[in-house]
Amino acid sequence: MKEFILQHKRFSFYSLLVAIVVGIAIFAPYITPHDAFNADMSKAFLKPSAQHLMGTDKLGRDTFSRIIYGTQTSLFMTIILVILTAVVGTVVGILSGFFGGKVELVLMRFTDIMLSFPGVVLAIAIAGILGGSAINAILALVVVSWAKYARLIRSAVIKLRHNDFIAAARVNGTKQMTILWRHILPNVLPLIVITGAMDIGTMMMEIAGLSFLGFGAQPPTPEWGLMLNENRQYILSSPELMLYPGMAIFIVVTIFNLWGDSLRDILDPRSTDSH
């Protein structure tokens, strides 16, 4: 353990930051100084003070508590999104890469369609038409994001398929499904993990973007993108209200981007950014 930390200082440090963010997300309800949902109109638009570190919003809710609680909302939504996207993309990628033939042709045509259209535009349309909600926003982003994973994993599987150990397993009479589970999946897993980890930051911003447009999390959920949208009208009187949620997105996305980069450097040392 100690050796690992010393060997991978960068990764260990960023993992610590990620752990702190995750900790804040999990324990959000217990560590907020005030109730993130409790509206008290008599306290609307209070300026920052010792009582309310970041002041209060239009309904008199404590902004600091809502920012903290927002960590849970954002992180929870993002994790579900990344996992779902990775699972769909992996299934499509493995099926088309492993079986080839007609399966591959159809699935890859589909993938190409999804890749040849600006995803966010479609995500806005899907989330909006289905009706703004956290679940619909996640679904919309899964629909437009899985194709990238499918592409990547398909080419990895095709490379694997021609390896001797797969041929050996075949000759031994191993069942197709067993080859898939025991030999193919474990070998593409690092690729899936790297891609997923590096995507967390982007996905978090896309979810916040949908919420900002009104097609994601709905009031009174404390979600950073939604908070930015709610506080946008008061930019003149209470500009600090739009500063905090944006800052929160920025910091957490930065942490996850740094962490993703350092994780890739460990799992796949060949492809570093700086050559």
Partner 1 sequence: MKTILSKVSQLLITLIGVTFLTFCLTYIAPGDPALMVLEAGDTIVSQEMIDATRKEMGLDRPFMEQYVRWVSGAVQGDLGTSYSGKKPVTDKLLEGLGGTALLAVSAFLLNVLLSIPLGIYSAVKANKLPDFIIRFFAFINVSMPSFWLGMLLLYIFGLKLHWVPIATSVISFKALILPAITLSLVMAAKFTRQVRTVIIEELHQDYVMGARARGMSESQILWKHVLPNALLPLITIMGMGIGWLLAGAAVIEIVFSWPGMGKMAVYAIAMRDYPLIEGFVLWVALIYTAINFLVDLSYSILDPRLKARG
Nearer to partner 1, 38 or 155 (CB): 155
Query: Which of 1, 30, 173, 274 lies at the binding interface for partner 1 (CB under 8 A)?
Result: 274
Binding map of partner 1 across residues 125-164, x = CB under 8 A, - = no contact: xx-xxxx---------------------------------
- How near is the Cβ of 137 to partner 1 at its closest, in Å? 13
Nearer to partner 1, 60 or 119 (CB): 119
Binding map of partner 1 across residues 101-120, x = CB under 8 A, - = no contact: --------xx-xx--xxxxx
- How near is the Cβ of 102 to partner 1 at its closest, in Å? 16
Nearest 5°: the CA angle 170, 176, 179 is 70
DSSP 8-state class, residue 43:
G
How far the first Cα of the chain sits from its last, in Å, is: 28
Residue at 58: amino acid letter: K
DSSP 8-state class, residue 62:
B
Q: Which two tokens stand for residue 106?
A: 């159809």
- How near is the Cβ of 151 to partner 1 at its closest, in Å? 14
Nearer to partner 1, 59 or 258 (CB): 258
| Residue 60 in the binding site for partner 1 (CB under 8 A) | no
User: 30-36: long-range contacts at Cβ-Cβ below 8 A with a sequence spacing of 24 or more?
Assistant: 31/68, 32/62, 32/64, 32/65, 32/68, 32/69, 33/62, 33/64, 33/65, 34/61, 34/62, 34/64, 34/65, 35/61, 35/62, 35/65, 36/61, 36/62, 36/65, 36/66, 36/68, 36/69, 36/222
| Residue 244 in the binding site for partner 1 (CB under 8 A) | no
Q: How far apart are CA 106 and CA 154, in angstroms?
A: 13
Interface residues for partner 1 in 220-239 (CB under 8 A)? 225, 228, 232, 235-236, 239
| Residue 260 in the binding site for partner 1 (CB under 8 A) | no
- The residues that touch partner 1, with contacts defined as CB under 8 A, are 109-110, 112-113, 116-122, 124-126, 128-131, 201, 205, 208-209, 212-215, 225, 228, 232, 235-236, 239, 242-243, 245-246, 249-250, 253-254, 257, 273-275
